[in-house]
Chain A
Amino acid sequence: MTVATQSTAMPTAGQHGLVAHSDGPVVPVQTRSERFRSVEVADFAPVTGREHEWKLSPVAAFADLTSGELDGARLGLETSGAEGVAVEWIARDDARIGTAGTPEERASANAWTNFGEALLVRVTGEDDKIATVTRTGLGATPRAAHTVIEAAPNSRGLVVLGGTGSARLSENVEVIVGEGANLTVVSVQEWDDDAVHLASHFARIGRDAKLKHIVVSLGGKVVRVNPSTHLAEQGGDVEALGLYFSDAGQHLEQQVYVHHDAPNTRSRVTYKGALQGEGARSVWIGDVLIGNAAVGTDSYEQNRNLVLSDGTRADSIPNLEIETGDIAGAGHASATGRFDDEQLFYLMARGITEEEARRLVVRGFLTEIVQQIGVAELEERLTAALEAELQGA
């Protein structure tokens, strides 16, 4: 059974509050598990922009990343470590590389073909700990990168993978969550206004392991972070969260894929975004595949967008594909609501200033995700960054 719903919101003056699109038309989609995969860029045809994985992306803005030569040298990093988190460069032939996933599109394959060494972030030990790796100063050179984040069995930890400054980067991030491990990965995109960043994250969740994966996209001209999670062993659990604020001329995209492939696995996908300004654009595609081995699956995915001004566009497309009847639950929701003049009037009629009214609504809307990050300092910084976005800074 395949259920797909699609909503494309180009707000109109009459749109109030949140409009649910959960009962949209049923459109058949290609079976996600049958998609072509390869680590070789030459195996993919040149990108035209008509492919299902590219059709909502501004492909002309990053032809260098999908078809050009990429510099695979080590990226400039700022790291703040913790005991039990090792950060090192490993060779292309390391056995871990390729164990969490395989590229499904050309930018990802191009990065895979061209990276030199991979960055390994290895988490061990049962104490909670936080490590941060920020990529910075990447400049205008089109680059390829590969990162492996590995949580040893029964380990716990939180890894922040950040990006600042200018960049033209295509990369793959493999997340290997060992048996019984509990890992949080926060990918924070705070690039400069001209940056282009295309990322594919591939997570493989071991038996009874848990991954919390959070994508925060604020800065960059085009930012596309596509996390795939393979719930490959029984009892695996993924909580995939996302937060984005798209302002004038920005394209922020995320294609989230969860593959339930073992008994009694659980997934929760919650992405929330705000859009403000002429040409602010967001794309969210959420594919959930419940394979025939995945009895007892419990799955729910949702995307909510808050539109703060005219001239924006939010695409929101949940797809659910179920190959077994024996599941605990599966659902999806998608809604795009507008913060409109009537809401502003209502709040101001209670004495609240216009600035405060906007802040109130956006903060209320996005806080649910911010609070999940679990790093107080980062939560505060992101809250401040969101308020700066609101003020058009």
Chain B
Amino acid sequence: MSVLEIKNLHVNVETDQGTREILRGVDLVINEGEIHAIMGPNGSGKSTLAYTIAGHPKYTVVEGEILLDGENVLEMSVDERARAGLFLAMQYPVEIPGVTVTNFLRTAKTAIDGEAPSVRHWVKDVRTAMGNLKMDSAFAERNVNEGFSGGEKKRNEILQLELLKPKFAVLDETDSGLDVDALKIVSEGVNRAKENTGLGILLITHYTRILRYIKPDFVHVFVAGKIAEQGGPELADRLEDEGYDRYQVAETASAE
């Protein structure tokens, strides 16, 4: 039984105006097979949490721990974290000129598994996964994310999720900018990955609409760099009706 634990996480970012504290004590435990939704207003630090878990060099952990099955994730390099079973579907996937999707997927799979996948199965797996995500096979020969539309980039992230089979996936606003059809396709991909591998999911979102397709076990409301409230799926319904204002008012009041 795998578990990802985040304990009292404080994170700073260096900006032109100096150091800024963004995460202010985040506690979260995700077990294998669980879906945790993190919901919060823009600028509350959701992507910072996602990037920090993945090890982006811009974010400095000043206090706290991240443990994967008891192992100290913060001591691992970005690629070591991925090989240990962590996956981040990015809010803004990066274009990689000169590297085709096919080449990229094979290289990543080989790195994660520690050995090259068997050619026959791999080609079939990629084709099936692309078909499931309604990605034209022509994408395989295009450069990673280069010239992809927003929706195509998100599908490409979920394609990687399905093929790389991590233990835990952080999905950073995978729903943003998707039309309903694309949202359904992407959600089905996430649900399929969970069914097939039993991974744990940290689903970061600004809106509740993706929760119609991906059912969370837990919902955390994220405000001003920490979790302001947590509950079950019913909390999402309340946010749908009331928005984040209630929390932000409370935050402002407590800051005074």
Q: Which residues of A contact B (CB under 8 A)?
A: 16-18, 306, 337, 339, 341-343, 345-354, 356, 360-366
Contact = CB atoms under 8 A, between A and B. Distances in A.
A353 B149 CA distance: 27
A351 B90 contact: no
B57 A341 contact: yes
Query: Nearest 7 pairs between A and B by C-beta?
Result: A365-B98, A364-B98, A17-B95, A351-B111, A351-B82, A350-B108, A348-B78
Contact of B99 (A18, A351, A364): A364
A366 B97 CA distance: 11
B160 A350 contact: yes
Interface in B86-105: 87-88, 90, 93-100, 103-104
Interface residues of B, number: 31
Contact of A351 (B79, B96, B146): B79
Contacts of A363: 98
15 contacts: A16-B95, A17-B94, A17-B97, A18-B95, A18-B97, A345-B56, A348-B77, A348-B78, A348-B82, A349-B88, A354-B79, A356-B111, A361-B96, A361-B97, A364-B99
B112 A350 contact: yes
Nearest to B86: A349
B82 A349 contact: yes
Interface in B53-110: 54-57, 77-79, 81-83, 87-88, 90, 93-100, 103-104, 107-108
SS of A interface (majority): helix
Question: Which of A337, A339, A343 lies at the interface centre, i.e. has the most chain B CB atoms within 10 A of its CB?
Answer: A343
Contacts of B78: 345, 348-349
Contacts of B210: none
Given A343-B96, A364-B100, A18 B146 contact: yes
A341 B94 CA distance: 10
Given A349-B54, A350-B111, 18 more contacts: A17-B94, A18-B95, A18-B146, A345-B54, A345-B57, A346-B93, A349-B78, A349-B82, A350-B112, A350-B160, A351-B112, A352-B111, A353-B79, A361-B97, A364-B97, A364-B103, A364-B143, A366-B98
A113 B4 CA distance: 75
Nearest to A365: B98
Contacts of B111: 350-353, 356
Contacts of A354: 79
A364 to B, nearest CB: 4
A346 B99 CA distance: 12
Contacts of B219: none
B58 to A, nearest CB: 8
